[in-house]
Structure 1
């Protein structure tokens, strides 16, 4: 059998710990971090993010060797495509080699259904009990040989029927994925196979049947940060890589520091290295918690201040540019970010309920290892982008108006319902953030046309709280599309002004209007108002809020009397028309 392979980025975004990895005719579950081969895991320097995540080190997923990241075959329930027998792998395969013991030329296929609960546990679909439901004796024995038959009329679950040699009446899988379909079979057993045997938890949830390839089986909780000075400098990254030695005052003696200066080919003097070590020690003595809000505030400050000098030793180059004519009342600063480095780390994952918002309420995540480890998997990518800072006072004045407050109340009701449904803490809706978020999607859509990048290659990063308001649209990709310069060039005043006007004017109307603009709740859990796939919804890889909390009407107003001019950019769009 061919050893399954995946890109490093996929081990954070698609097939991470606890997720299912499809390979040929079977599927595997990625094992916990405690099983990974750390000898091939490269160090990634980003101490701010590591500290925010409660670890001392970030490492790239190991690569270059076989079995660097162990996997387990999952689900265990298998089906023979030829004889149609269904059962556990140990019963259908003689040597657990994945081949049917009744016909060695046929590879077994994993059953398409599995169980999952909101606390992240997984389980096998109860095939035997589903078929024998209602019988007093539901213990599987040798007299029971089940088969999964395909009627061939459609591809729905209703065309899949289970039968057994005991003579029980055949039963289809229709309704297996419906809400509450597994309630009759007991509560979740708290299984965590990615962590190994003996790691079960007590769980009071009822499992829900899902298709093993469904997107809701695994949602990664990825935290990220932009490298800013001094962490973006080469010296800081070199010292961080050797911090296990240089961080020890008894070991970091002048001869040792001189040795590192020579190792780094004299690029940095002993005094420079010593000052960097002192700075790191002072940073570690600071007991201030680095929250997501703190990370964003530091990045916002660095972007506004800019960094004019372009040097080969920096992963952060941010140049000041003029604000386009006509936007001065709302936009205070524009920055051309010709080089940035983003580090993304996998903090945990969830199932069924969707990925958590990094800036939202704290959610309980599924563990990546049986015990707390000193490291987390991460990747680093290089890109470029455009940064806009907004006048907070002007936004606050607009947000206090009746129109914005009315939209905020509608969204708040939807958010409160979703929080109650999923058992999450309630969080207030920031209508300013919703407006900036929607504008970010407008810019992504327009840059995909003007800069020649696919929308999926662009990402947003929002900086919104009581004191700041800004957005960064950037490329941060592991391939060449991340640093071709096309997005950064759009920060020039003439290019940016034209792009903003065209994007706002084009998306002020939607092909689904008036249905879209008059919507009272759309998208997942009704967390959007005027937003649909024909206007401001973006690719999932581009949006950091899962395409939620979007409202095009906040930018352009609605067709209701008195609301035509209530949007942030209503006046500008009307002038353009």
Structure 2
């Protein structure tokens, strides 16, 4: 942009909130973040996490530019339709005074269109105002000058009227947001404006009208990984820094080349570096791991713990568990230092898609396949909690656990029938209970540790034979480095915090409505969960605040029996 004030976003937002293909609001203007093949790599520093890179099929990651020295992340203006707030003329922005972004007749700044059209394959284009205004009529020859008028009676779509100078009857926008409203007048053109030079794609999906600021215009597919041994050690960090050289050195020559390279670096040894190089090369020849494979490795590392040295980015030490919570909690670990890498692998629109490298419906971040993806890293602290497998297994066998799981499963089936989404099964009853416990515990930890709740994040481990949760600092700004969260893992502090969290979860200010309600929230994928009890800021929940149920955790509201923690 060649303006005096460039729009600004935090580096982490360019991966999680305003990633490639998303719409970025900048005052009264609107832009779309361009694909990574438009980025200048010299302004994007590398971010290394070999396990995650291997899982995503790339060599490395790069952090978005910080904007220094003109290294801005490129954008394009979108939507292209703008209107004058005074004369109400509606047209492409380049047909006004595109340099000043003003109406040449009224000298008023232009306002971008409130509406866009998207499809489930990730394509996006301008709302088809011309087609909507001329639907049901023959399009006459001659100039067409459209007007976007507001009747002012209300803020409904019925009060927004499109007129054209060609004389066709005016049409309001009432009904334009229906599921199949646009398919009657226009198909998807397969447009990808975030890839300025890319050709349009063939697409059979229907277009959906959405407000440009709506949350379902862009769903980022973000994958993350915690750095664990041996990749968190200073030796691995050294290998990563010099990997461009070390990967080409034969193992037989490493012993001779390394002494000069590691001279003056305490804690490094030739044998240790050779071993990590060998593991790194072996990693690149193994089968591409799935997200669940990475989670399994993290879970084992969190259980095993690692004291590490002062430069190790994974320091996790088990502590004693207070006898008051031993019936539920098998292990508590103080994670004094953690490093998380979050990478954007693609995105979807209209409905969120499964974050999977094999999912062909995720929109691509570049026209051609590149060997890197945008990512950010966060250093912080946290608390790891492993629940008793016996307690979880016993609870899963109870009728309440099966009933609550069945309710969510039925909601997913209904969603598939109504929206055409792929048929999915609800996550296990243990996942629902552990996820709900994580939300209750995170809220209480935020109060005790003094962190803003949006700077804490959960990580759930609830596959078969797993029963753990990690709560850690998730913010890359100052709010994520206050300190004090890991200290709450100590025996008495944690027992007090858990007891307070469960007591708070036992009653919601919206009860009995909250606890007795059926499926609610997004697509009916929550049960007893609302903003007064379990829901968290979107930055804190890795599962978009769905699959939550307070009753699975604390039991029926009348008797407080049948829940995971009812026996405590």
TM-score, normalising length: structure 2: 0.93
Contact 1:458 1:476 in 2 (8 A): yes
Correspondence for 1:53 among 47, 53, 56: 56
Deviations 1:256-290 (A, max 9, x none): 4344324x7566344433332223223333x2331
Q: For 1:201-224, what per-residue CA distance to the aligned partner results, in whole angstroms no more than 9, with x for missing partners?
A: 211111111111111111111111
2:96 maps to 1:92: yes
Give structure 2 stretches of 5+ with no counterpart.
Answer: none
Cα distance in 1 for residues equivalent to 2:11 and 2:140: 44
Distance 1:4 1:475 in 2: 27
- Whether 1:539 and 2:537 are equivalent positions in the alignment is yes
Q: Show the counterpart of 1:466.
A: 464
Question: Which stretch shifts more, 195-204 or 535-544?
Answer: 195-204
Aligned length: 562
Counterparts of 1:318-467 in structure 2, within 5 Å, are: 318-354=316-352, 356=354, 364-420=361-417, 421-467=419-465
Q: Matched residues in 2 for 1:320 and 1:265: separation? A: 30
Give the Cα–Cα distance (whole angstroms) in 1 for the partners of residues 368 and 238 of structure 2.
29
- Residue 439 to residue 494, structure 1, CA distance change in 2 (3 Å): same
173-182 or 458-467, larger mean C-alpha shift: 173-182
Query: Corresponding residue for 1:501?
Result: 499
Shift in alpha-carbon separation, 1:487–1:326, aligned structure 2, 3 A: same
In structure 1, what is the equivalent of residue 509 of structure 2? 511
What is the DSSP-based 3-state SS (H/G/I as helix, E as strand, rest coil) of the residue aligned with 2:14? helix
- Corresponding residue for residue 261 of structure 1: 262
Measure the CA separation in 2 of the matches of 1:357 and 1:566. Answer: 33
8 Å contact kept, 2:315–2:336: yes
Asked whether the 8 Å contact 2:7–2:26 carries over to 1, the reply is yes
2:134 to 132, 135, 151: 132
Mapped to 1, the partners of 2:314 and 2:331 lie a distance apart of: 17
Equivalent position of 2:119 in the other structure: 117
Q: What secondary structure sits across from 1:39 in the alignment?
A: helix
Residue aligning to 1:225: 225
Corresponding residue number in structure 2 for 1:108: 110
How far apart are the structure 2 equivalents of 1:422 and 1:474? 36
Tell me how far 1:75 sits from its aligned partner: 0.8
Query: How many angstroms does 1:73 deviate by?
Result: 0.8
CA shift, 1:88, in A, is: 1.4
1:347-388 Cα shifts (integer Å, max 9, x gaps): 1111111364679x9573111011221000100011111111
Match of 1:571? 567
Corresponding residue SS for 1:433: helix
Alignment deviations for residues 113-171 of structure 1 (CA, whole Å, 9 cap, x no partner): 110111111111111221222211267x42x2122223334343333322222233333
Distance, in Å, in 1 between the alignment partners of 2:416 and 2:368 is 29
Asked if the contact 2:436–2:550 (Cα under 8 Å) also holds between the matched residues in 1, the reply is yes
* Structure 2 SS opposite 1:326: helix
Structure 1 357/50 Cα, relative in aligned 2: closer, same or farther at 3 Å?
closer
What pairs up with 1:188-267 in 2 under 5 angstroms? 188-250=188-250, 253=254, 256-262=257-263, 265=265
- Find 1:16's aligned residue among 8, 16, 19: 19
Q: Which residue of structure 2 aligns with residue 299 of structure 1? A: 298
Whole-Å separation in 1 of the counterparts to 2:501 and 2:265: 50
Alpha-carbon distance, 1:548 to partner: 0.7
* 1:422 Cα deviation from its structure 2 partner: 4.1
